[in-house]
A and B are shown apart, each in its own frame.
Chain A
């Protein structure tokens, strides 16, 4: 070509056909090839394109410029597209794996809760029932005395139900706090109010506390009715 070449720099090997390419300035190439102003380049390196869309771009250019011969310089775009595709696939796979893991954990939790929650509830209700009956028994004389003094049976019932509700509320609150206390270190996050606020659904905590009170009232209803319906004369005469 009658020109001397100065190698500006050697590109890092990419393992593609780019490794066999010589990169020159466009005006130099036009000059060497004897076609000044006739050869041009469309740099679409930043576009999100891949092999199919490159063909589409070539066809469109051919339609707009019918006398122009279009050479696709696609290897970089392809490489980038492939990398992007691989990254997207990897991301999709990671998301799918994470979803599957969460689904598995959730299923395991649900399986555990399916028997643990009813069992715990029954155990708590049973304990409350025993506690309430023993409380009624221990306060038998007192109930008889107050009924003799004119206390209405409905107030005795209300007293024992209110006590059961209070125990249930307190138990629900303590349970919620204990649950959070157990969950935080297990999550490996340590204690922080921010974390507690971020993982705690106030609606669910409220529901748990109210459910505790309701369960307690249900368990205490029988003993409360027994207490309210006791004949004061029987109690005061027998003791």
Chain B
């Protein structure tokens, strides 16, 4: 479905160069759940962003079908690719503080309007146990509820690829179970999950668990 080849990404800071991706290659199939584990700063988030069409690597390619996301697609076309194909769950949730839970879940529909989006958002929130929280603001939610809201938002546009950065970090058992069940259902329906995680509870659910160190996939 999507394939990364020889990705290289270096960042330069005052303390010197940091190699975030050092020749990473990775292939993801439809209906596959892959977890990337590794210490903080090993390049997990950079890999997710590169595969999601958010940040171009300095070299290497990310192929989606016959297309290289960064060589064959303009930034505008890549934006369309993201809106149609990719769902993101960010580590910090990035919920918009002045919008309600329902409105937050509907934000991808701003980019890609769909008359059925409202019904789908309500359905997702019902599935994630947030029916009673539709009109609450993010500040009024627990950490688990925020994470579930972010997951519902990522699934709103029915993406084919879900990129999740530590989606179970800081969650209690109940919330971890809800999130993992949602990801399992997504994969069962043919979706692909690439997830950065330290959470051993998630490892058992994935088809593959890759270990990253200093920008490389080591096992």
B79 touches A147 (CB 8 A): yes
A146 touches B55 (CB 8 A): no
Instruction: Give the number of residues in A that approach B within 8 Å (Cβ atoms).
Output: 18
How far is it, in angstroms, between the C-alpha of A149 and the C-alpha of B87 when the chains are bound? Answer: 8
B52, B96, B107, B111 interface centre (most CB from chain A within 10 Å): B111
Task: Tell me if A108 counts as interface (CB < 8 A to partner B).
Answer: no
Can you list, as one digit per residue, whether each of B83-122 has a CB less than 8 Å from chain A (1) or not (0)? 1100010101010100000000001101110000000000
Instruction: Give the number of residues in B that approach A within 8 Å (Cβ atoms).
Output: 25
How far is it, in angstroms, between the C-alpha of A55 and the C-alpha of B42 when the chains are bound? Answer: 118
A150 touches B90 (CB 8 A): no
A150 touches B112 (CB 8 A): yes
Q: Which of B45, B76, B82 contacts A149 (CB 8 A)?
A: B82
Task: Tell me if B75 counts as interface (CB < 8 A to partner A).
Answer: yes
How far is it, in angstroms, between the C-alpha of A14 and the C-alpha of B201 when the chains are bound? Answer: 123
B79 touches A151 (CB 8 A): yes
Task: Tell me if A168 counts as interface (CB < 8 A to partner B).
Answer: no
Q: Which of A150, A233, A237 contacts B80 (CB 8 A)?
A: A150
Task: Tell me if A231 counts as interface (CB < 8 A to partner B).
Answer: yes
B94 touches A237 (CB 8 A): no
Least Cβ–Cβ distance between B121 and chain A, in angstroms = 14
How far is it, in angstroms, between the C-alpha of A183 and the C-alpha of B68 when the chains are bound? Answer: 65
B94 touches A149 (CB 8 A): no
Task: Tell me if B28 counts as interface (CB < 8 A to partner A).
Answer: no
How far is it, in angstroms, between the C-alpha of A170 and the C-alpha of B2 when the chains are bound? Answer: 49
Known A146-B107, A149-B88, A150-B79; judge A141-B54 contact (CB<8 A): no
B54 touches A145 (CB 8 A): no
Task: Tell me if B49 counts as interface (CB < 8 A to partner A).
Answer: yes
How far is it, in angstroms, between the C-alpha of A147 and the C-alpha of B108 when the chains are bound? Answer: 10
Q: Which residue from chain B places its CB closest to the CB of A239 in the assembled complex?
A: B92
Task: Tell me if A223 counts as interface (CB < 8 A to partner B).
Answer: no
Known A147-B79, A148-B82; judge A236-B90 contact (CB<8 A): yes
B55 touches A152 (CB 8 A): no
Task: Tell me if A142 counts as interface (CB < 8 A to partner B).
Answer: yes
A148 touches B54 (CB 8 A): yes
Least Cβ–Cβ distance between B213 and chain A, in angstroms = 19
How far is it, in angstroms, between the C-alpha of A184 and the C-alpha of B92 when the chains are bound? Answer: 56
A149 touches B92 (CB 8 A): no
B54 touches A151 (CB 8 A): no
B111 touches A144 (CB 8 A): no
How far is it, in angstroms, between the C-alpha of A149 and the C-alpha of B153 when the chains are bound? Answer: 10
Residues of B within 8 A of A (CB): 45-46, 49, 52, 54-55, 75-76, 79-84, 88, 90, 92, 94, 96, 107-108, 110-112, 157
10 A-B pairs (CB sep. < 8 Å): A142-B96, A145-B96, A149-B88, A150-B79, A150-B82, A150-B84, A151-B110, A236-B49, A236-B90, A239-B92
